[in-house]
Structure 1
Amino acid sequence: MISGVGLGYRREMVDLKDEILASNVDYIEVAPENWMRMNERYQAPLKELVQHIPLSTHGLSLSLGSPDKLDVEFVKQVKRFLTDFNVSCYSEHLSYCSSGGHVYDLMPIPFTEEAVFHVANRIKKVQDILEQRIAIENVSYYLQTMNDLTEVEFTKAVLEEAQCDLLLDVNNVYVNSINHNYNAKEFISAMPTERIAYGHIAGHYDEAKDLKVDTHGSPVIDDVWGLLDFAYQKHGVFPTLLERDFNIPDMSELNVEIDKIHSFQKSDIKKKQKG
């Protein structure tokens, strides 16, 4: 099981094994589809690293909201990867990325009751094949489709119907709260504590005052740090992972944010103990 503070592990980091192991990183996370079809030579750095540190996985291609037939063979490949690398945690996005072919982006699912049952049924099938629960991530989105339900109602309904867990992405909550004008703390408060498996935190790009783009390409801002602290106060401390997908700095710079997550976790544990 994962705990503490994680780091999204990217191919650009394959030479950072010693620095990662010397840091306060408690676990790493990869997208399985970026590794499971690689040959032994390219998988070797990851296999070596996970002999010393736990691994979680965060998928990109499951396309839970797609109208296409579920790619069962792909799910079976994921299962083999989870088994080979002794992974207990697999998460995916509450979105879709295919409709008659991959679109190479994470598209928003309509917030409707019909979509709740469609997505939940696909999650159940995935969980049956994997023989384990998965976690779904609240995603950032920039176009509002049908919204018979609110994002909160839709997310909670999927969690309940599918009997799956939640990956709470705090930066996505912040980005959506600005882009779609809702209260970020109210969204976080509404999430069911017992469903939260772990969390993500990342940086984003300010396109405009009222338009934020989830890029994972810059440092985490103060408002997002504040939301993470609020989430810990509301739900208790949960494992939290730092994502950085491009503009990846030196490990020393990543360590500053990793240590900051640790400091929030320790502080909130102390507050709970005193309370």
Structure 2
Amino acid sequence: MKLRVKITCLLLLPIIFLSVTSINASAKMKDQVLSNMIVYKIRRGPTIDKDIVLKSFTVKRNTWITDKYVPKEGGWEISTKNFHSGKYVYYFALSEQWAWTNTKEVGSTSRFAHMSWVRNGNSKSWVWSKPGSGYKKFNISRFKHTIWTTDHEAQLMYGKKTIYFHVSHGKYSGWISHNSLKLAPHSTLTISPLVDNSSPRNADGSRAFYMNKNEKYKAIRFANNSNTLWVAFPDYGDNQYQSLFDSLDNFGNEFPANQAVID
């Protein structure tokens, strides 16, 4: 349960914090204000009960803020590009009126199939040094027809653009939102392995599943790499190519083209 405090003070009078119990402080977050909210500018005292409210003002909707929950104050210290909470003065909000949009916090990172990609439409997304953060390395719009290769995927904890791919092409590499890319030109195939118990490989090199030479499997082959097939799990179904981009886990299994019969 979120804690709240009451400020029973007048301008330039000591601020009194009530009903504050033990709770862990949160990490700093970058969020966007959902609606206009009241913020208090407060001068720090030697102890919390000696803090003094200097003024209050309104932070407008859609303002980007950095916020951190502070248990002993029972609320959030915030900063914006126009003011900053520091050693002697801090800016205080009693309630969180913002969206949780901290795109910098990575939930998980894993290896990803070395598949081929190109820019999606007229995307002008930035390629970052870290998933959704760090510094901007270059804009994908500079590379209209470049084929990129993925090797890792990152899942972010907040925000709409929650999936980032690590891509590379020659000396260029970085992290980009997955919806800024689409699969490079490719053909869809039906294949059978030359021998029983053949097995395509996952992104981490482990066996994905076993294939039998008397059975048929769905696969794709990129125009820029005729030596490799990307095989779908056999139980994926007949509509696999209609939502290929949204179901990459089913096709992220690498198999040598010279070990298969292609129908």
TM-score bracket, normalised by the shorter chain, equals under 0.3
TM-score, length-scaled by structure 2: 0.22
Structure with higher Rg: it is: 2
Which structure has more helix as a fraction of its residues? 1
TM-score, length-scaled by structure 1: 0.21
Which structure has more strand as a fraction of its residues? 2
> Which gives a bigger RCO, structure 1 or 2 (Cα 8 Å, sep 6+)?
1
